[in-house]
Amino acid sequence: MTGKFVKFSLVLIALAMPVAIHAQGIVKGTSNGASDGNRDAGAVGAVVGGVVGGVVGGVDGFFGVDQRPHFRDYVIKEHRPSYTYRNGLRQGVILPADGLTYYDVPSEYGTNGAVYTVVNDHTVLVDPRTHRVLEILN
Packing angle of the helix pair 24-59, 2-22 (nearest 10 deg) = 110
What is the C-alpha separation between 136 and 120, in angstroms, rounded? Answer: 11
Is the CB of residue 91 less than 8 Å from the CB of residue 135?
yes
Q: What pLDDT tens digit does each residue of the chain (138 aa) get?
A: 566 665 665 555 545 544 444 444 455 555 555 555 566 666 655 555 554 444 444 444 666 667 788 888 899 999 999 999 999 899 999 999 888 999 999 888 877 788 999 999 999 999 999 999 999 987
What pLDDT does 137 receive? 86
What pLDDT does 6 receive? 56
What pLDDT does 60 receive? 47
What value, to the nearest 5°, has the Cα angle with vertex 12 and ends 8 and 17? 145
What is the C-alpha separation between 55 and 33, in angstroms, rounded? Answer: 10
Where do runs of H (alpha helix) occur along 1-138? Answer: 2-22, 24-59, 67-78
What pLDDT does 18 receive? 42
Is the CB of residue 84 less than 8 Å from the CB of residue 122?
no
pTM of the model: 0.56
